[in-house]
């Protein structure tokens, strides 16, 4: 039920959903004054959500800033959160990445530089709409790590979790059973890392973080900063989704 509710709220918060709703209200409303107000709000909402400068600044406020790799201490376990692969694409002879592939590449970089000794992949691979999932013999990210040259002995896979809360719950079991009282580094997308860190800390896991997969760029002004962009709409949608997820998790007691 929680899985379905979270997905439903995501679509409700998308700017495009509100564009359609306001357009329908304006079309079907007979009163001229209300019709004009709906159109005005629609235009204003489009201007705000499609502006690159505004979307970048809002996301900068939320994303966990990047850390210089040289400043990173050495950790016993790097926890790599999943959710960045496309499972319903054929042929099945390769791994199809969604946005966020640098979660993996940066994890490998940390491993190769000796910053992490083991890599714990946390997350199942194939989740259906109702929240059920099918287990697989090997995770796509494990295949990629092996291609990068990470030895099998240094890869652990937690294959039960379906969301960030369960990432923390099931990873905790592995950490307590195999890597008790060691140093852990949580690796995920910058926009998602606040919620993920809180989930792990709620489970009593002392953990540091490493941000990847940024939606933001460094601050700079150019003519393009003021031109409408569909990518800005995407960033606002992602941010809205994450803020709602954070609030929902807080209400559920997961944080």
Identify the helix (H) or strand (E) that includes residue 37. Answer: helix 32-49
Confidence of residue 219 (pLDDT cuts 50, 70, 90): very high
Cβ–Cβ < 8 Å for 13, 237: yes
Q: Say how far apart CA 102 and CA 215 lie, in whole Å.
A: 12
H or E element at residue 118: strand 116-122
- The answer to whether the beta carbons of residues 76 and 183 sit under 8 Å apart is yes
Query: What value does the mean pLDDT of the chain take?
Result: 90
**CA 249 → CA 5, 10, 38, 188, distances in Å?**
12, 14, 33, 17
* Nearest by Cα to 154 from 106, 112, 190: 112
Contacts of 85 (CB under 8 A, 6+ apart): 95, 96, 97, 98, 125, 140, 141
Residues 6+ away with beta carbon under 8 Å from 153: none
The residue-averaged pLDDT of 151-174 equals 94
Kindly report the number of other CB atoms within 10 A of residue 9's CB atom: 15
Burial (Cβ within 10 Å: 0-12, 13-18, ≥19) of residue 214: middle
Q: What DSSP state is assigned to residue 65?
A: P
115 touches 69 (CB < 8 A): yes
Q: For residue 66, is pLDDT > 70?
A: yes
Cα–Cα distance measured from residue 73 to residue 185, given in angstroms and rounded to the nearest whole number: 9
Q: What is the pLDDT of residue 135?
A: 56
| pLDDT, position 6 | 61
Strands 133-134 and 208-212, by their bridges, are unpaired
b (16+ CB within 10 A) / e for 64-96? beeeeeeeeeebebbbbbbbbbeeeeeeeeebe
Residues ≥6 apart with Cβ < 8 Å to 197: 64, 186, 207, 209
What's CA 216's distance to the chain center, in Å? Answer: 14
Whole-prediction pTM value? 0.87
Q: Of 53-57, 67-71, 83-87, 105-109, which range is least confident? A: 83-87
| Residue 137 confidence (pLDDT) | 58
**Residue 134, pLDDT score:** 54
How far apart CA 206 and CA 200 sit, in angstroms, is 8
- Reduced to 3 states (helix: H, G, I; strand: E, B; else coil), residue 195 is helix
């Amino acid at each position: 039920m929680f899985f379905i509710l979270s997905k439903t709220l995501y679509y409700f918060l998308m700017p495009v959903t509100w564009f359609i709703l306001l357009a329908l209200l304006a079309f079907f409303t007979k009163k001229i004054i209300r019709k004009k107000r709906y159109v005005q709000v629609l235009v204003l909402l489009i201007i705000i959500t499609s502006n690159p400068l505004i979307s970048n600044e809002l996301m900068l406020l939320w994303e966990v800033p990047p850390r210089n790799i040289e400043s990173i201490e050495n950790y016993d376990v790097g926890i790599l959160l999943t959710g960045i692969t496309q499972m319903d694409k054929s042929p099945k002879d390769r791994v199809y990445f969604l946005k966020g592939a640098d979660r993996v590449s940066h994890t490998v970089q940390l491993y190769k530089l000796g910053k992490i000794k083991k890599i714990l992949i946390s997350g199942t691979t194939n989740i259906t709409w109702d929240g059920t999932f099918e287990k697989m013999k090997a995770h796509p990210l494990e295949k990629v790590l092996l291609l990068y040259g990470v030895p099998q002995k240094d890869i652990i896979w937690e294959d039960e979790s379906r969301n960030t809360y369960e990432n923390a719950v099931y990873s905790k079991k592995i950490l307590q059973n195999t890597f008790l009282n060691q140093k852990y580094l949580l690796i995920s997308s910058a926009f998602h890392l606040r919620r993920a860190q809180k989930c792990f800390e709620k489970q009593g896991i002392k953990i540091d973080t490493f941000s990847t997969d940024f939606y933001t760029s460094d601050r700079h002004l150019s003519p393009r900063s003021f031109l409408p962009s569909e990518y800005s709409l995407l960033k606002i949608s992602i941010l809205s989704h994450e803020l709602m997820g954070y609030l929902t998790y807080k209400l559920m007691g997961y944080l």
